[in-house]
Amino acid sequence: MCGIIGYVGEREMAPLLINGLKKLEYRGYDSYGFCIKDGDRFHVLKKKGRISEDESPLKKIQGNFGIAHTRWATHGKPTEINSHPHFDCKKEISIVHNGIIENAEQLRKMLEKEKHVFVSETDSEVIAHLIEKFYVNSLEMAVKKAISLLDGSFALAIICKNEDCILAVKRGSPLVLGVGKNENFIASDVVPIIEYTKKIIYLKDEEIAKITKEGIEIKNSKGKIIDKKIAEIKWNIKQAEKGKFKHFMIKEIFEQPEVIKNVLRGRIKDNKIKLTLDINFKKINRIILTACGTSWHSCLIAKTLIEKYAQIPVEVDYASEFRYRNPLVSKNDLLIAVSQSGETADTLAAIREGKKKGAKTLGIINVVGSTISREVDSGIYLYSGPETGVASTKAFTSQIMALFLFALYARQEKKCKIDPRLINEIKKLPEKIEESLGEVKKIKSIAKKFVDSSNFLYFGRGINYPVALEGALKLKEISYIHAEGYPAAEMKHGPIALIDGNMPSVFIATHSKTFSKLISNIEEVKARGGKIISIVNKEDKIARKCSDFAINVPRTIEDLSAIVNVIPLQLLSYFIADMRGLDVDKPRNLAKSVTVE
Ligand code: M6R
């Protein structure tokens, strides 16, 4: 993971890099560091912890040419020494790295034999020493030779005392270049540079960019100068800020009515689904959905929807498993990757594996221009704006919506009718989410009662079983409370043994074809003294009666209910984590974008 930023231009360097790193902290925040070039001197600062915790020493650093890094530790503990930038022996070459060098140990041994002295435990430091080894009088040549020896993934920004440029190069990890007037930028993604420029170049693997104040020169792997397309970013900095909200997570939860409108905008007209996908459904025998974390939960929901509406068999696979199990894939398979960031390393590798085996590929992606979005044959963007809280919220609901549209589109392509009542119900979703959000006060008071719980169980059935999984994931990742999600009927096969007076159980108990069965499960928990929090429809009397706490959501059709029902679960975990005094947006050990295996 890790975040990189680099700048060359006329602005004051330190505030720009500080600001940029704060925006990249969602990629990792174990430690941070800067190297600012001032004539032929390097000003270096490296610290353990988050940038916001102590930034005053940085403000004193002068210079207008530099690189910076926020770290998510892989090789070596989060210490000052292990933080980036890393240097060669003579401290003339400085690098920041995002990715993992898999042959770092062999390279380190080779370099140590050549008298290179290492100071950190990181894999990244070998890169600086390799560049030193090959440096004669051209940084670019030295970098080319160095990266030819690297196995693994990297996005690198490199500076050297003898040259007035930043070099950027990548393999497998993301890197974008921002084009300004008398200034240019490098970053892991557009968020830290969007307030300065909306003109972005997406660097491809093995391309090398030389960035100076005056311009950006990019060469392909053969050393030929190439003309790259400059993309224009449509969203603005306001969308990437917290505004009146205490945390990004709560802001993003409340954005969901708007986000659903965005994902639907222009995609439904006269009862028809308008998507531009290069897919011949007559030739698709099977769909494989692949993703990680919350996005994987969206895939589980989509399986039910696609099989029902498009009548195509669907398999769901964790991307991290799919990529390594030598899956049977044919050219009649459609592989769909679902990813908010579009950068998740496992999901990217799964797509590459599927492509290699001849499958057609489709991406359901939020971040425009991200690596996965550029590698798939066709895609559906979520247009949800930046999601900054590590806990995914608005991406989840918009992914389900996009996948629902896809299921209906496939149905339409197979010349089957779409019930207009379904379209009507879809259009009502933004206001129904708004209604779910209206329970915020009640949810806060319930959170207060359970803030000291050590464990939680979540139960749901059918389309709401993945919602139970998602509720449990949300709670554990930001509140550090152990939580598990189960299909409610599985309770009697084991989890029921956990029920006692200290075990809260959250039931998604809205209208469904298995409603009466789920009520029996609630009764079984109640009979064993468990505490019950239920998500119920407003008009419901039955589930409400057997629950200790009931949270209202408006009724919709069962197939759409996941989008409405997950809202109270997001709020519940948010308030519990906040009441426990935790850093909701940046939970320990996690990062927003998981670009390592
Ligand atoms: O960017 P992606 O959707 O590919 O990310 C996948 C997971 O890393 C992500 O959903 C993760 O599980 C979230 N922290 C969950 O809130």
Please state, rounded to an integer, the average pLDDT across all residues of the chain.
Answer: 93
CB of 292 shorter than 6 A to ligand 1: yes
Pocket test residue of 26, 249, 295 for ligand 1, highest count of atoms within 8 A of CB: 295
Domain match, 188 and 287 both: no
277 alpha carbon – ligand 1 mean position (Å): 25
Chain segment 64-82, per-residue pLDDT in tens: 789 999 987 778 888 999 9
Chain segment 146-179, per-residue pLDDT in tens: 999 999 889 999 999 999 999 999 998 889 999 9
Domain match, 228 and 354 both: no
* CA dist 361 → 308, 329, 556 (Å): 21, 12, 32
Atom of ligand 1 nearest to the CA of 594: 8
Domain match, 412 and 498 both: no
418 alpha carbon – ligand 1 mean position (Å): 32
Q: Grade residue 524 by pLDDT with cuts at 50, 70 and 90.
A: very high
573 alpha carbon – ligand 1 mean position (Å): 16
Here the CATH number for the domain that contains residue 439 is: 3.40.50.10490
Given this model, what pLDDT does residue 54 score? 60
The answer to whether residue 491 scores a pLDDT higher than 60 is yes
Taking the C-alpha atoms of residue 447 and residue 579, their distance in angstroms, rounded to an integer, is 8
Select from 179, 199, 233 the last residue of a domain. 233
- Residue 293 within a domain: yes
Chain segment 417-429, per-residue pLDDT in tens: 999 999 999 999 9
Q: For residues 153 and 345, is the Cβ–Cβ distance under 8 A? A: yes
Domain match, 53 and 16 both: yes
Select from 388, 418, 448 the last residue of a domain. 418
Atom of ligand 1 nearest to the CA of 293: 12
Domain match, 456 and 404 both: no
Domain match, 125 and 269 both: no
- Residue 592 within a domain: no
- Residue 425 within a domain: no
In this structure, the residue with its CA closest to atom 11 of ligand 1 is 293
The pLDDT of 445-467, averaged and rounded, is: 97
Backbone angles phi, psi at 542, to 5 degrees: -75, -55
Q: For residues 67 and 185, is the Cβ–Cβ distance under 8 A? A: no
Domain match, 403 and 289 both: yes
Query: Catalytic residue numbers?
Result: 2, 592
Domain count, the chain: 3
Taking the C-alpha atoms of residue 570 and residue 573, their distance in angstroms, rounded to an integer, is 5
Chain segment 197-228, per-residue pLDDT in tens: 999 999 999 999 999 999 999 999 999 999 99
Q: Grade residue 239 by pLDDT with cuts at 50, 70 and 90.
A: low
Domain that residue 165 falls in: 3-233
Select from 387, 418, 449 the last residue of a domain. 418
Percent of the chain with pLDDT over 70: 97
Q: Grade residue 510 by pLDDT with cuts at 50, 70 and 90.
A: very high
Nearest Cα neighbor of 507 from 528, 527, 523 is 523
Domain match, 282 and 349 both: yes
Atom of ligand 1 nearest to the CA of 291: 4
Taking the C-alpha atoms of residue 561 and residue 216, their distance in angstroms, rounded to an integer, is 49
Residue 497 CB-density burial (10 A; 0-12 exposed, 13-18 middle, 19+ buried)? exposed
CB of 389 shorter than 6 A to ligand 1: no
Given this model, what pLDDT does residue 22 score? 87
CA angle (240, 448, 432) in 5-degree steps? 55
Structure tokens at 34: 């800067």
172: left (phi over 0), alpha (psi -120 to 50) or beta: left
Domain match, 86 and 27 both: yes
Q: Looking at the DSSP assignment, which residues form a beta bridge with residue 542?
A: none
- Residue 23 within a domain: yes
The answer to whether residue 377 scores a pLDDT higher than 90 is yes
CB of 349 shorter than 6 A to ligand 1: no
Domain match, 100 and 208 both: yes
Taking the C-alpha atoms of residue 183 and residue 144, their distance in angstroms, rounded to an integer, is 25
- Residue 348 within a domain: yes
Domain match, 276 and 152 both: no
The answer to whether residue 595 scores a pLDDT higher than 80 is no
Domain match, 72 and 190 both: yes
Given this model, what pLDDT does residue 450 score? 97
The pLDDT of 475-503, averaged and rounded, is: 93
By three-state DSSP, how is residue 414 classified? Answer: coil
CB of 371 shorter than 6 A to ligand 1: no
For residue 271, the 8-state DSSP code is: T
395 alpha carbon – ligand 1 mean position (Å): 9
Here the CATH number for the domain that contains residue 26 is: 3.60.20.10
- Residue 426 within a domain: no
- Residue 529 within a domain: yes
In this structure, the residue with its CA closest to atom 14 of ligand 1 is 391
The answer to whether residue 238 scores a pLDDT higher than 70 is no
CB of 477 shorter than 6 A to ligand 1: yes
The answer to whether residue 580 scores a pLDDT higher than 90 is yes
The answer to whether residue 243 scores a pLDDT higher than 90 is no
The answer to whether residue 55 scores a pLDDT higher than 80 is no
- Residue 588 within a domain: no
